[in-house]
A and B are shown apart, each in its own frame.
Chain A
Amino acid sequence: MANHKEVLEGCTIEIRDDDHLTINGKEIRYEHNRSDGTWSSKYLPYTKYPSLLAMARAIVRDTVEFSHVKE
């Protein structure tokens, strides 16, 4: 099992044992479809991602819960 930790756009993405995902310490629930090898999450309901990390990065970039754009 692999662990991964990175900071993207000010948010800390952490994956433990290849399947436990947190962003800024918040646990992110997701679905892993083993038949087509995709990951998806309620945060981004219109897209499936090819890896857990790709999905986590998209959540940081594209959800108002984690992206902090100033006007």
Chain B
Amino acid sequence: MAIRKDANTLNATERAEFIAAIKALKAEGLYDQFVLRHANAVMNAIHRAPAFLPWHRRFIFDLEVELQRVSGNPNLGIPYWNWATGGANASMWNDDLLGGDGDAGGVVRTGPFRAGEWTVINSSGLPAGPLMRSFGQSGMPTLPTQAEVDQVLAVTPYDVSPWNTSSNPSFRNQLEGWMGPNLHNRGHVWVGGSMLPMTSPNDPVFFMNHCMVDKVWHDWQVRFPNQGYLPETGGAFGQNLNDPMDSTPSGRIGPRPIDVLNSAALGIVYDDATGQPQPQIPVIVIGANPTAADIGAPGEADLFQFDVSTFGSYTMFTSGPSDTFMTLLGPNDQTAQVASNDDGGENLNSQITRNLSAGTYFLRIRLFSPNTTGVYAVGVRAENSAPPPTIPELMVDGAGLNASISAANESDLYMFRITNRDTYTIQTSGTTDTFLTLHGPNSQIPEIARNDDGGVSFNALIRRQIDPGEYYARVRHFSQLGTGPYTIRVSRG
């Protein structure tokens, strides 16, 4: 869990720990790799577009993981730059944290990143001189006030066509700074110097600026739980909810906007969020009367969940006068899209019929047009037409079972029995980039482990001590669109 605090509230120990971790990454060469990841990304793929917020959330998350590694502190969080109280005289600019403004020529000569102690790199990775700053001298003389942050926090929807610097009304565009009071861009330009170009992560305050941006997005998500990421589809490649984002390597979490929407699920806690209630997801009971709901604000999306106890055919549907759009996610994963539909039901209603294995599924309902509002009802019914399939059984220490993901979004389920408490390894082999989840005991629903690339090459591997019982392994392709053969095996030890 990363605990992110206002940079101005860090005590001396916390400041020293953060600086030491940043410098350790710099010494390893890893810090500069982050600079290059940002500098060599396509500008309009990670800025001036919807993916601006999820791309940078993933970016600072990845740095935070490395800071935790080198510090040995799993709770180390990147401090956020609270703009309203973070002006030139704030303690975050003291010599025990960031150091201060540049000299008359812009060169930073105080603090841990002063000339002689810290060298920036250019976009080719070559040393390019000292860190530069010139507070308020590059066209932005002031920082955002709390009233301006509050103003942006009230904007909905998340984003709107044409998905660029002219999008309006757009929370993303106002937070980024192309409309409204200008928050994020203003942080960069107010610092000036090394914070102005695409190599801006050269200045560690970059990460504090983006931690504040991410906090504002998080606060907005808590305030508007039904306002989802947009666009789900129809935007440029790399900007849609399920598109892999530019310049985002494989890592602990996925590369798509949908993979980073839930800060809490990523283990991120902001210091002012203690006790903040998490929104409850309404539950749909299969076979019950449809649940009445409404899209009360343009761009809003509603999320529901339902539990499937046995494999079978199920129909998810809406009814009513609205032109709904439905997305089915799961099992047991709000980020794994199974199917989506626009007008498969009556009139302009959406409907999906699908064979579903046991697990918890999620339905996200929005209106086809992001500019309208309307009422609808949503329900799930079992079709009772498909006989339950036999789940292939894996024998512990037996031969591997050859299989394949033959269609997009497909996943394969296997069962194996454990009779003695011990450590067991479930792994795939082959050339396919597999993703593995482990469920049990004696149920397909509770997920107890997951892995992407823990095995050889892009294969998945889970090694875990487990008690006697029946367990289930589910294999899917890492990419939603991927297919390919693989072999799965369970062994003791």
Contact = CB atoms under 8 A, between A and B. Distances in A.
A42 B199 CA distance: 10
A35 B339 CA distance: 39
B185 A62 contact: no
B177 A65 contact: no
B359 to A, nearest CB: 42
A63 B196 contact: yes
B189 A46 contact: yes
Nearest to A43: B197
Contacts, number: 67
B43 A64 contact: no
A62 B196 contact: yes
A48 B177 CA distance: 11
A64 B130 contact: no
Interface in A9-38: 31, 33, 35-36
B116 interface: yes
Interface stretch (B118-126, B318-326, B457-465): B118-126
Contact of A64 (B48, B165, B199): B199
Contact of B197 (A33, A36, A62, A68): A62
Contacts of B413: none
A40 B437 CA distance: 46
A69 B165 contact: no
A64 B128 contact: yes
A68 B129 contact: yes
B123 A33 contact: no
A42 B197 CA distance: 8
B192 A69 contact: no
B108 to A, nearest CB: 10
Contacts of B105: 69
Given A35-B166, A46-B185, A71 B116 contact: yes
A58 B121 CA distance: 18
Contacts of B401: none
B129 A46 contact: no
Interface in B141-179: 165-166, 177
Given A46-B189, A64-B194, A71-B116, A33 B165 contact: yes
Contacts of B139: 47
**Most chain B Cβ neighbours within 10 Å, of A36, A64, A68:** A64
A35 B168 CA distance: 15
A46 B43 contact: no
Contacts of A42: 43, 198
The 5 closest A-B pairs by CB, nearest first: A64-B128, A42-B43, A46-B188, A46-B185, A71-B115
6 contacts: A45-B198, A46-B185, A64-B202, A67-B132, A69-B105, A71-B116
